């Protein structure tokens, strides 16, 4: 499809700049006035100067209140909040000890970070937003659709916290992924009534409710594939991470004959750990020999445009196509967020979908808070418009020599500049640093809001002993380019420090689909040359003898699927949330992956 034309402003007019000031001021006041009375705001040492300034001034003066916020509230990180969050996990947990901890009342759920880097899990309380925001795209786990949507949803949760309330009752708070929490909140689905909804099948979805409770990784994908293939009316495919769609397609290919036979006969396959979920699923699947015959004629995934042959009404694919999914889509189709990679080859998702299907980003945000939504007047795959819905976003200039506490407002941004987002959220985070780097593409002409593209993690590169840091974008671009020319189709990859020789270097661990190229060993030299061209520090370190060529080791087929399944089983994180980091720091995972090496180039 043709790239949409954009008409972004390169700079803000005085009128738009003033309009943005009012927009940010109003949004900030709504959040910080409400959360100022929270336990965190009253007790955190980081906010002591802010509290003192408010006490000495006129707290009812909005302009003075905002000036004190901007002058006295420092940037924060997770460690500031950890001791306050820990109170929710105490046993017993009394309502008086945690009520109004970060925002008024009690959280609806706790959102888990996905632990991409291998570090310990972070949890963030999520409070129910005002009713008028519940239908905003940032909160909708399943946006409305006029047709049928393939959007596998797991309701798997890590644990349930019990809060003993003052009235003698207790409140259960689920610890789960952000998407699961938003889905449960939107549908008012409490965990205690999960088994009473087993017969439910929401209109417009391919998957009956019971599939969302399946715990087995394989069974979850096989059953979603079964019901999706049985319905030719699919118009939209939604996967939070596009690489999960690739996993879905792998299961479709591996189980093709079984799936088609089950559709023909109207039976649920013999997959593990179904138990009481089998009966409600069986009642939703009827024999369909005509559909089975149609699928047999089309065949399993492989041909270009396979998806539109299976689902003739398919028009749109929505998913994060950067980061863990970038090896599955071309550079032109990338979106943003959370540990994103920035290049790819041409086969897999776009090959499977075909040229008629629009690819769109679901937006940009994190477990901590939402930042931007898809900018449809630009490139819907990469362009994202900053909005203040559950958070107000300020920015740090990553190229500035000023102190890191110099926080910029949206009207102070410059087109082409690189910035780190800083969030103040409805859920009680105060100037929280995300650690990402975005670039401002321009400003929307109607309201002046910045339109941004995600670049990479600010400290996502692997710091070598020789003192240089290549960004995730650079590290990804060079291996994807080399693989496309010499090795073959990348299924996935990660990078570890290779210290088998001195000095330490970037060690690529790569899984390839299909045959390995006959001249695959040329990839190491190309990766080295491209990295030399991309990063001045690396080039200088090499010529000074402080750096050596990167290494590339190929892993056994299926390694990263097993990695995801192990992580899912070990952490109880949602199936859709498991990601492979660009740079791996977890020593246990590193050692396991190294055991899967089959070839070194």
Q: Residues 574-584: pLDDT tens digits?
A: 666 667 888 88
Q: Are 547 and 577 in contact (CB under 8 A)?
A: no
pLDDT in the model for residue 502: 78
Give the DSSP letter of residue 298: H
321: which residues sit within 8 A by CB, 6+ positions away?
242, 328, 329, 333, 334, 335, 349, 359, 361, 381
Give the DSSP letter of residue 124: E
How much is the mean pLDDT over the chain?
Answer: 85
CA angle 137, 141, 146 (to 5 degrees): 75
> Whole-angstrom Cα distance, residue 498 to residue 443?
43
Strand intervals (E) in 151-306? 157-164, 170-176, 234-241
Q: Are 215 and 156 in contact (CB under 8 A)?
A: yes
> Whole-angstrom Cα distance, residue 474 to residue 476?
5
pLDDT in the model for residue 544: 67
Question: What's the first-to-final CA gap in the chain, in angstroms?
Answer: 37
At 246, give phi and psi (nearest 5°): -65, -40
> Whole-angstrom Cα distance, residue 456 to residue 476?
10
pLDDT in the model for residue 344: 38
* Kind of pairing between the strands at 407-408 and 391-397: antiparallel
Q: Are 199 and 281 in contact (CB under 8 A)?
A: no
Closest CA to 318 of 328, 333, 303, 302: 333
> Whole-angstrom Cα distance, residue 215 to residue 209?
13
- What residues in the chain have per-residue pLDDT under 70? 1-6, 114-120, 140-145, 321-348, 401-404, 459-469, 544, 571-578
> Whole-angstrom Cα distance, residue 359 to residue 380?
7
Closest CA to 233 of 155, 288, 300, 304: 288
Tally helices (H) and strands (E) across the chain: 19, 22
Two tokens, residue 338:
């959370």
Radius of gyration of the chain, Cα coordinates, nearest whole angstrom: 25
pLDDT in the model for residue 236: 93
pLDDT in the model for residue 333: 36
> Whole-angstrom Cα distance, residue 584 to residue 427?
30
pLDDT in the model for residue 42: 96
Q: Residues 448-461: pLDDT tens digits?
A: 999 999 887 776 55
The verdict on pTM exceeding 0.85 is no
> Whole-angstrom Cα distance, residue 211 to residue 272?
13
CA angle 393, 398, 404 (to 5 degrees): 75
Helix (H) or strand (E) holding 29: helix 14-35
Look at the block and give the residue holding tokens 């967020």: 337
92 prior amide bond cis, ω within 30: yes
pLDDT in the model for residue 272: 76
Q: Are 494 and 462 in contact (CB under 8 A)?
A: no
pLDDT in the model for residue 132: 81
Q: Are 497 and 507 in contact (CB under 8 A)?
A: yes
pLDDT in the model for residue 210: 93
Look at the block and give the residue holding tokens 């019971």: 210
């Amino acid at each position: 499809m043709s790239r949409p034309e954009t008409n972004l402003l390169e700079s803000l007019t005085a009128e738009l700049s003033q309009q943005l000031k009012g927009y940010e001021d109003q949004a900030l006041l709504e959040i910080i006035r409400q959360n100022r009375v929270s336990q965190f705001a009253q007790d955190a040492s980081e906010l002591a100067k802010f509290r003192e300034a408010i006490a000495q001034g006129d707290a009812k003066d909005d302009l003075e209140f905002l000036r004190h916020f901007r002058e006295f509230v420092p940037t924060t990180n997770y460690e500031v909040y950890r001791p306050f969050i820990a109170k929710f996990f105490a046993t017993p947990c009394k309502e008086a000890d945690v009520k109004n901890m970060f925002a008024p009342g009690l959280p609806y759920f706790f959102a888990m970070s996905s632990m991409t880097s291998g570090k310990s899990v972070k949890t963030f309380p999520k409070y129910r937003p005002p009713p008028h925001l519940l239908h905003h795209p940032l909160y909708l786990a399943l946006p409305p659709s006029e047709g049928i949507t393939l959007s596998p949803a797991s309701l798997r949760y890590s644990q349930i916290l019990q809060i003993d309330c003052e009235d003698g009752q207790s409140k259960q708070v689920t610890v789960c992924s952000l998407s699961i929490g938003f889905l449960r909140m939107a549908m008012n689905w409490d965990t205690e009534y999960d088994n009473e909804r087993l017969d439910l099948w929401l209109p417009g979805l391919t998957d009956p409710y019971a599939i969302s409770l399946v715990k087995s990784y394989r069974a979850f994908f096989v059953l979603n594939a079964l019901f999706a293939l049985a319905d030719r009316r699919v118009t939209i495919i939604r996967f939070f991470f596009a690489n999960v769609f690739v996993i879905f397609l792998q299961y479709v290919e591996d189980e093709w004959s079984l799936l088609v036979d089950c559709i023909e006969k109207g039976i649920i396959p013999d997959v593990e750990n179904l138990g009481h979920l089998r009966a409600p699923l069986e009642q939703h699947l009827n024999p369909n020999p005509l559909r089975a015959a149609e699928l047999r004629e089309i065949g399993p995934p492989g041909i270009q445009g396979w998806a539109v042959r299976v689902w003739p009404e398919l028009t749109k694919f929505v998913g994060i196509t950067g980061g863990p999914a970038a090896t599955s889509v071309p550079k032109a189709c990338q979106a943003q967020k959370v540990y994103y990679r920035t290049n790819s080859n041409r086969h897999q998702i776009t090959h499977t979908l075909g040229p008629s299907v629009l690819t769109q980003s679901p937006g940009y945000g994190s477990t901590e808070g939402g930042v931007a939504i898809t900018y449809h007047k630009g490139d819907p795959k990469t362009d994202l418009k900053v909005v203040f819905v559950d958070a107000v976003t300020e920015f740090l200039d990553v190229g500035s020599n000023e102190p890191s506490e110099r926080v910029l407002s949206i009207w102070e941004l410059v087109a082409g500049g690189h910035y780190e987002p800083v969030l103040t959220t409805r859920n009680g985070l105060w100037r929280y640093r995300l650690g990402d780097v975005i670039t401002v593409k321009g400003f929307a002409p109607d309201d002046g809001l910045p339109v941004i593209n995600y670049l990479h993690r600010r400290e996502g590169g692997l710091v070598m002993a020789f003192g240089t840091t290549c960004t995730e974008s650079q590290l990804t671009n060079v291996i994807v380019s080399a693989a496309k020319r010499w090795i073959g189709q990348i299924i996935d990859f990660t990078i570890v420090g290779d210290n088998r020789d001195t000095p330490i270097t970037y060690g690529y661990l790569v899984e390839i689909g299909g045959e390995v190229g006959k001249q695959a060993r040329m990839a190491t030299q190309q990766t080295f040359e491209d990295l030399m061209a991309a990063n001045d520090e690396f080039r200088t370190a090499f010529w000074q003898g402080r750096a050596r060529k990167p290494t590339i080791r190929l892993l056994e087929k299926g390694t990263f699927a097993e990695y995801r399944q192990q992580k899912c089983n070990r952490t109880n994180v949602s199936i859709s949330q498991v990601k492979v980091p660009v740079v791996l720091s977890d020593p246990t995972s590193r050692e396991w992956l190294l055991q899967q090496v089959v070839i070194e180039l």
